[in-house]
Structures are given as C-alpha cells and as structure tokens.
Structure 1
Amino acid sequence: MITQTRPILSLTGLLKPEEDKDLELASYDVLLPCRRFDVDHKVAVLGRVSLTAEFLLRLVKSVDGIDENEAALFFGFGLRDMSFVLAEVAGLGYVERREGRLWITLSGMSLFLEGSDEPKIFDVEARRENVGFDLISLAYEHPRGLDDFSRALPELPLLQPERASAAAGNIYSAFRKSYSEIASRRDKASFDKRSLYSIDHVSPGDRFSSSVKLTIKSTGLRPWAGVADLSEWRNEVEQEDRPEVLDAVAAFVDDLSVTQRSGDREAYEVLISLAPEFLKEFVRKSGLAVDQYYRETFNRVGEVRSNRQTIAFVGSLFTRDNVRKLTEAYSIALRSRSRPSTLLWLIPIVKHWGATKTLPELLRMMASRNGADNNSDRPATTVGLVSGWPDAHVKKAFAQVCKSDAPAFPQTLELLIVPGVLVAASIHAPIGSKAGLPVPLGFISFDPRVVERASEYVGHSLHRYVKEDALERRIREDLARTTADEGEMSSSVPE
C-alpha cells in the first residue's frame, strides 16, 4: 500500500507539473523478526454419530414421540440392536425416552445444520502446534528458509521492544485471530470440520526471520520524498492487519535520508570526467547542472541500442527498469568484447546499499556470462570495494570484499566496472532538496572511451583497497584491457 502526499511544485523547479509522474527510486529486501511458539490448545472436531444412530435420529426428528417398538420395527432392529442404539443417542442427550416413546431434544435438533439432513457432533481434541509469529505486529508468519545472503539483510526496527519481549503473553489472542489461516495451511480438506475450542499454554521457541520486499516510490517533482510500496510482500488487506510492520517500514525508509554533502560536487565532477562528450550539454562553469540533467533523464526513455553506447538513468541500479537497461547494455557490449576475469563494484557510503536480493542475482548473472569466454571454466571474480566496515549482506554477495579504512573516492560515488566491457556510474545525493532520500543519478556506458577512463580512475587508488598481490595483479591486468569496439558515443541524453 502506498501512502502518497499530493504532489507539489518544487521550489527548485525540477519539472513542470504536467511532466510529473511516479519514480521508482529504490528496492530493498529487509528482515522481519519472528519467533516460533508451541501452542497447546483444544479443537472441536466435527464428527459423525454411528450410522444406525443417524438413521434413528432422522426418524425421531421426522416423527417426534414415536413408539420405541414402532421405531425398532421400522428398521428391523432386534431387542439387542435397539438397546445399543438407544443407549448411544440417549446417553449423548440427543433423544429423550419417556413412557416407551422417543422425543428429540434441543441438543439433538442442533445436530441438523441448516440445509443438511445429516446429524453431526463435535469431539474435543487436545493438540499442539508449532507456529511462527512476527515480533512486530504479532501476526502469523509461516517460516520459510532463507539463503546466506538473505539472512544477512538488515532487520526492521523494533519500535516497541517491550511488545516483542512479552510476545508469549500476547500470542493467545494472536493465535485465536490467525487460527483459520493456521488450520487451513495444515489441513485444508478437514478445516471446515474443526474450530478452536480453547488455548491452554504458550511456550516461546526459536527465533527466525522472514523477508519483506519493499519498493520506494516517489514522484518526479519530489524525488527525495519517497514512500514504501509493499504490494509485492502482502496485499492491501493483509497490510492493514499489520499496522506495526507498516510503521517499522516507514521508520526504515526515513533512516535512509541524507543531507547534501560538501563532497557531492566532487562526485558529480567524476561523472563529467568519465563521460565529457555525453554530458557536455549539462556542464556549466560551476560543474554539472544536476537539476537539468535529472529533468532530461526523467523525461526521456533512454532505451539501450548498439549505436547508443551511453544512456542516462535515475534511481538505484536495482530497480526493475534499471536492471533491464544494465543487462541489455551488458549483452550488447559482450558481443564484441573480450571478457575479463574480474568485475569491480565501488560501493557508495549510503545506508543499506545493496540490501536487495537483486544484488547477488545480478552479480551471478554478470559473473557467469563474463567467465564464459575468458579461457576459464570459472565465472569472473566479483570484487566489492568498500570504505570502512562492509555490511554483512555485502560480504555475502561478493566473492571478494576489499576495504579501505579511509575513502579514496567521493563518498556518494557508485561505480560498477566490467573491465574492457561496461561501466555504470551514479551519485547518491538528494536532488531538489538539501535533505531527503538519495536520488541516484548517472549513466550506463559501453563506450570504449568511458570504460577506459573509468578503469584508469579506479586503478589510481586500487592499492588502497586491494591488499592481496595476486588479486591486485589480476584486476590491473583486466583494467589495462582496451575495448575492441570504437563506435561513436551519443553526445546528449538519448531520446
């Protein structure tokens, strides 16, 4: 569910109001903290009376007050059989015996459900269920296996930690509320024949996590002000049943906000230095005209073609549209390029970069295709370049993570390099506001000149990150590659 405020005209005049539309800004997978609980309870299971008792109940319902002998004669029951059946129905309180006649009781009448001629009864059974609930909204959550990368993703904040610590006491009402879903998942065929009778005891068990997929969407006029779309995780009704999770997601998104930094200008200068021909229409004496470049990028399709070697993009590289652009450009570039043995990704200093399952999927795809033609059966080695301590999910995603204690590049610069093949560069800073969500803005290019400049740029400071001699040698050999394709690069943001 997206809660979106009414678009307003930005003070910086990013767009004309009639140009405004939705902008997919970023995509994340985050962990929802959960716990298993053993719930001892009783269920009322809908059963059937014996066949002979059923026949008798049907008869007495139709002919209330029938003589016992006439009833026995009707069914052809002997004395012994009749005594057994009468003991069953009278003992259960369904039929009353008075002066040799049979009368159906209110309990007996209640066995005949509306629209049914078949009498039914309930048996109470004791059961134990091991079920999962999330610790934020205490909603039922079916445990699912997570891979190593997913288990390392960031966790949604516990805005009410006392609620999580006292979860066992609140599971009684949560289990009752979710029982229909729990029971139907266990046994759909017999679910309509049982109902929850009582909850006797709850014992907390092991913790586990479930993943929540969210997409941050904003608008062209206000790209820095995004909200979470959770439609890929749960439908709108299920989201409304979990308001505490919605609050936690909103807090997660708010925590991504940054302010403009003094180094942002230097970062945009890097874009100009890498692709001066492509960006020449947006270069001023003060540097890159960010607002104008953003406007053109937002309003243009920028589809990848073999004769359009550089295209602009806005939003994270992990959004659906940008993943498509990147993979299409990569496919075109690989047609005529030799394939290196390494892939480099300079990671910007922004919160939770790459916290999406798309990251390892994209790396696997690019590495496997890269390694298919480099005289090796092994895929290319993926190398993450990180300033400071890498996030846990980053370490799981890359084959090698090389870190520098102090940044050697602008903090907001993201640079993906497949040496000799392709480069994707972007800056993570608010656009149109001094503070807000970072709006990645940059380009994807397989222009030989751009790829070569990016390789030289990273190569100058590579030693600050890569400390292993053999790996550094491999990377430098790859960075020294020259592209075979010398096609012309588009000189402006493509139509």
Structure 2
Amino acid sequence: MNDFDLSEPTQVSSFGFNVPCREFVIAAQVTRDKRMPMVDEFVLKALNLCESVSVSRLARFFGFSQTEMDIVLADLQARTLIMLEGNEVSLHSTGKELFRTAGDGPPVITDVESFPARIWFELISKSMIRSRGLHNVKNLIDLTASLGRTDISESFAREAFHDNFRDYLRLIRRIKNPEAWGLYAISDVAPGRFSYAQISGKQSLLLGSPPKLETTLIETETDRPQKLRLLTDAMSHALGSLSEPDPTAAARSEFARLTYSTFIDDSINAEGFVDLNVWLQREQSSSYPGVASIVGSLCLERNRKRLTSLIASRSEGAQSQEAWDLFWFRPGGTIWGLTEDLQTTISELKAMSRRSLSGEGGLVATLIAPASVSSDSVKRFDRIFDRGLGARAGRGSTSVEVLLIRGVCAVVSVLVPLSAGVNVWIGRITVIPKDVSRIAERLRPNDPEPELVSLWTENRARPRPKTPTEA
C-alpha cells in the first residue's frame, strides 16, 4: 500500500490561521450582459440587414403565423428595439446600437438588477476575503490585527467594493465571466459583526538534491500576492514562532521498538540523513496486508484515507460490542495539531466507530501530551478530545507520535532529518492485532497518576457491553 510519487511536490503538513475580520452588508445594483433569446436575436439581425420590411414578409421568412409574429414584435417593441409603422417594421436606434457595441458578436441586452452582498474584510491587510468559517477555531494559529487596523470604516468598505468589484466577483463569488458584469450603483453599506475567517496553509516536500520544504500560506490567492502582503507577512511571523521537536536517534530507536522495524536507521546515508526513497523501497519490499507506511502528518487527507481503508478492511463484516478507546500521544513542540485536519481525522474515526457499533456507541478520544508541552497549549484541544492527560517528564520520546485505538489500529510516526534543516514525519500504520496489543502494552495509556495527570475530562455516557442474556 505504498504508492507515493515523490517526483512531484508532496504535501507533508498542514496548518490553519484564525484571521480577524469585519463583515459589511452592501446593497448595490449591477448591470449584466445577457444573450438574447434566439428568436429575438435573428429577427433583429434580419432587420439590421433589411432596414425595413413588412410584417407579413418577415413572418413568411421565419415560418411564423401572424399571431406568433405579432407576439415576437410586441415584445421587441416594448423594449424599444424596433419601430412599427403600419405594416412596416424597422430597427429603433436602440436596436441599432446593439449591433454597434456587439461588433462581430451576437447582440446582447443589459439588465439592471439588485445585488446584495455580504463581504468580509480581514483586519490585517484590509483585503476582501473569501470565508467559509465565521467563528474562532480554538486550535488554530491566532493572528492579531495590526495597530491602527482594528476596525474598518463604512467609507473604506464602499470604496474597496467599488474599486475591486471584478475581483470580488472572480475571487469571492467565483463567477466565471466577471467581465459581463458592471457595478451600477451602491445604495447602502452597513457594518456587520466581527469574527474570524479560517485560512489554511501547507508545507510540501520537494525531494531534490538536497530535499527542500516549500511553504504555501494562502493557496487560493496566489494571483494577488501584493494586496495580501501584510497578511502573508503576519502569517509567516506567526508560523516562524512555532517549533517542531528535534529529530533524534533516541526517537528512531523508540520507533523501532514500537514497530519492530529498523528500516529507518537502515536508510541513513553517508551524510547522516534519512534517504526517503530507500526507506520507502524497503517498506514496499516487505509490505503485507494490514500494514502501510505514511509520509507526512497522519491528519493529511491521503494518510487519513490510508488509515480508514485499513480499518475498514480489517473490520469488514464484524461488529464491535464496545466503544473505541482512542489515545493520541502527541509529540513535543508547539506546532502540532494547529490544523482543521485534526478535527476531520477525529470526526472520521468517530463515524467509523459508530458504524462498527451499529449506531449504539462511538469513540472516546484522549489526548496525551509530554511534560515539555504546557497545560495551556494542550487545553486548546479540549473541544476535539474528550479527555486530556499530561505525561510525566521522560515518559516516551517527544519526537515520536502515536495514534492508538485499542483493539483496532495503531499509527506510529517519527520525525526524521532528510537534509540540513529539513525534517519530515514518516511512519507506519498497522491493524494487525498482535502489533496493536504490543504497542498498547508498551505505551500504557491507562497509567494512573503521577504517570499521567488529568487536564480535563468530559463526562460521557459510554455504551455498556451487553451481557449474554441481553445479546
């Protein structure tokens, strides 16, 4: 199950930001060019060629009855596009103007219509922003508005909407042909609420010589980087203040003890760095059902799919009688988990557990943090995990991450150096029962204090195993 294509940039991590924003509700009128109905278009084209023609002759030309022709002409006359004088019909000056503005293209009509818009401006570079989230996601990276940019005036919002109308249509509303639209008037601008927009970024591995990491901050806004310079600078500064743990030989030894695999140490080159291609080849050559390797964070979509696929193949046709116990041993550093992919991972595993329990139970998720991570940093995840525990100093390596669902699966990852300053998480998923049991025995997720200290607990009704008489 190792099908990586490392010839292209490979995403290895994700992160997200809470960007402070202000909403404005704008009432406007817009003009929009529309293609005419085909019958109207061809009648006008015929009149443009003939200048003047009798109604009866025009009806015979198109094969219309007199009644049908009268309906078409009445509609065109109502729009001041033709003139009727007795039985003769000709183009009105308004109709002639259509052909002058259309050039070689078909004539179009311009409608004026109301256009209500809700626009969010981020408070760092004061740019319009496309937002799918209107709240503060507790586990993301918080950005703070620059001094003097804590609010936006109505006049600024009006002017920004006027000057960037086409950008708004293209980037925010995702309208494919913004050139067909025009801003006719802005009748009202009303300030709305303050909130936060969520913007995701990523880091990708370029496996060249030497390997490099490429950071993408605002993936959907690459065509207007100058307008967002203040915002991207703030993101870069916030990201630079965060840290990963150090990759160590002790961490690789711990990984080997948990997985019974020495492939990582066997793949270290003469410079002391891990050769990722060699490691993947070793994993591929020894792969067997129930085990898969991963590159990058477990929370990434491709790695989540790999995990859920293995769990599904293992439990196909089987039904569990107990709720799943999930223990996530997070690594050290300050950048772990600052992504919406973490919530998605937990949600997908909870959904799988409910299906496994025929809808009667679920999953209880516990986060276990090393002593090097402050309790305040750990508690930012209390909306995602049902319980939080802090481990004593020296209990496990801070450069190893483990996701354990007892009796179901285990994912063990370790941070390894690929070149100077380029460190990447790699790991192994297993759903083989003896592997999962061995990892659980070594990690001891239910140790009492002082090994594991409770940081928060959410009381939940957990499904009770059925007795033989109830089954």
TM-score, normalised via structure 1 length: 0.60
Tell me by how many angstroms 1:425 deviates.
0.8
Structure 1 segments unaligned to the other structure (5+ residues): 1-18, 47-61, 63-108, 479-495
How many percent of aligned residue pairs carry the same amino acid?
Answer: 17
Alignment of 1:179 with 2:179, yes or no, is no
- Supply the distance in 2 between the matched residues of 1:441 and 1:383 (Cα, whole angstroms): 22
1:29 equivalent in structure 2: 16
State yes or no: 1:206 paired with 2:190: no
Contact 2:329 2:368 (C-alpha < 8 Å) held by counterparts: yes
Per the alignment, residue 486 of structure 1 pairs with none
> Within the alignment, does 1:444 sit opposite 2:444 as a pair?
no
Corresponding residue for 2:128? Answer: 140
Q: Is residue 327 from structure 1 mapped to residue 311 from structure 2 by the alignment? A: no
Change (3 A) 1:400 1:256: same
Q: Is residue 2:409 matched to residue 1:459?
A: no
Task: Identify which of 162, 169, 173 aligns with 2:148.
Answer: 162
* Distance of aligned partners of 1:32 and 1:392 in 2 relative to their CA distance in 1, 3 Å threshold: farther
Structure 1 residue 206: deviation in Å? Answer: 1.9
Per-residue deviation at 1:354?
2.4
Q: Distance in 2 between matches of 1:379 and 1:410?
A: 30
Cα 1:166–1:338, aligned 2, differ >3 Å: closer, same or farther?
closer
Amino acid at match of 1:236: T
Q: Could you tell me how far 1:113 is from its partner in structure 2?
A: 7.8
What amino acid is the match of 1:138? K
Aligned-partner Cα distance in 2 for 1:173–1:110 = 32
How far apart are 1:202 and its partner, in Å? 6.9
Q: Is the 8 A contact 2:296 2:425 kept in 1?
A: yes
Deviation at 1:419, TM superposition (A): 0.9
How much has 1:27 moved relative to structure 2?
1.9
Q: 1:269 is matched by which residue type in structure 2?
A: S
User: Is the 1:220–1:298 Cα contact (8 Å) retained in structure 2?
Assistant: no
CA gap of 1:240–1:265, structure 2 versus 1, over 3 A, is same
Deviations 1:158-200 (A, max 9, x none): 4844344567675454222223455896999999686356x89
Q: Is the 8 A contact 2:206 2:214 kept in 1?
A: no
What is the distance in 2 between the residues matched to 1:188 and 1:221?
37
Q: 1:34 and 1:44, CA in 2 relative to 1: closer, same or farther beyond 3 A?
A: same
Alignment match, 2:362: 379
Matched, 1:291 2:273: yes
Shift of 1:416: 0.5
TM-score (ref. length: structure 2): 0.63
In the alignment, which of 257, 261, 269 is matched to residue 253 of structure 2? 269
Secondary structure in structure 1 of the residue aligned to 2:262: helix
Judge conservation of contact 2:387–2:458 (CA < 8 Å) in 1. no
How many residues end up aligned between the 2 structures? 390
Question: Secondary structure of 2:199's partner?
Answer: strand
Residue identity matched to 1:331: A
Instruction: State the SS of the aligned residue for 1:398.
Output: coil
How far apart are the structure 2 equivalents of 1:112 and 1:312?
Answer: 64
Residue 305 of structure 2 is aligned to residue 318 of structure 1: no
2:212 and 2:175 mapped to 1: Cα distance? 45
Give ranges in structure 2 of 5+ residues lacking alignment: 1-5, 34-50, 52-95, 466-471
For 1:27 and 1:223, the matched residues in 2 are separated by 22
Q: Which residue matches 1:360? A: 343
Once the 2 structures are TM-superposed, how far is the Cα of residue 380 of structure 1 from its aligned partner?
A: 2.0
Q: Could you tell me whether the CA contact under 8 Å between 1:227 and 1:253 is conserved in 2?
A: no
- 1:397 CA drift (Å): 1.9
SS of aligned partner of 1:31:
strand
More helix by share: 1
Q: Is the partner of 1:151 in helix, strand or coil?
A: coil
Question: SS at 1:397's partner residue?
Answer: coil
Check 1:165–1:369 CA distance in 2 against 1; reply closer, same or farther (3 A cut).
closer
Does 2:419 align with 1:419?
no
Q: Is the 8 A contact 1:44 1:122 kept in 2?
A: yes
* Offset at residue 315 of structure 1 (A): 1.0
Helix, strand or coil: the match of 2:162? helix
Give yes or no for contact 1:228–1:249 (8 Å, CA) kept in 2. Answer: no
CA 1:240 to 1:223, structure 2 compared with 1: closer, same or farther past 3 Å?
farther
Cα deviation, residue 443, structure 1: 1.4
Q: Residue 344 of structure 1 corresponds to which residue in structure 2?
A: 327
* Structure 1 residue 446: Cα displacement: 2.3
Judged with a 3 Å threshold, the aligned counterparts in structure 2 of structure 1 residues 159 and 20 are, in CA distance, closer, same or farther, namely farther
Query: How many angstroms apart in 1 are the aligned matches of 2:176 and 2:433?
Result: 60
Q: Which one-letter code corresponds to 1:242 in the other structure?
A: L
Please say if residues 275 and 418 of structure 2, whose CA atoms lie closer than 8 Å, have aligned partners that are also in contact. no
- Tell me the residue number matched to 1:248: 234
CA RMSD of aligned residues (A): 5.3
CA contact (8 A) 1:40 1:127 kept: yes
Q: Deviations over 1:219-273 (max 9, x none)?
A: 2247884223367x52532556433333334334434444636xx3332221111
Q: Assess, with a 3 A threshold, how the Cα gap between structure 1 residues 39 and 335 changes in structure 2: closer, same or farther.
A: closer
The separation in 1 between residues aligned to 2:111 and 2:308, in whole angstroms, is 60
Q: 2 CA distance for matches of 1:194 and 1:471?
A: 54
Aligned residue identity for 1:174: A
Deviation at 1:423, TM superposition (A): 0.8
Secondary structure of 2:14's aligned partner: strand
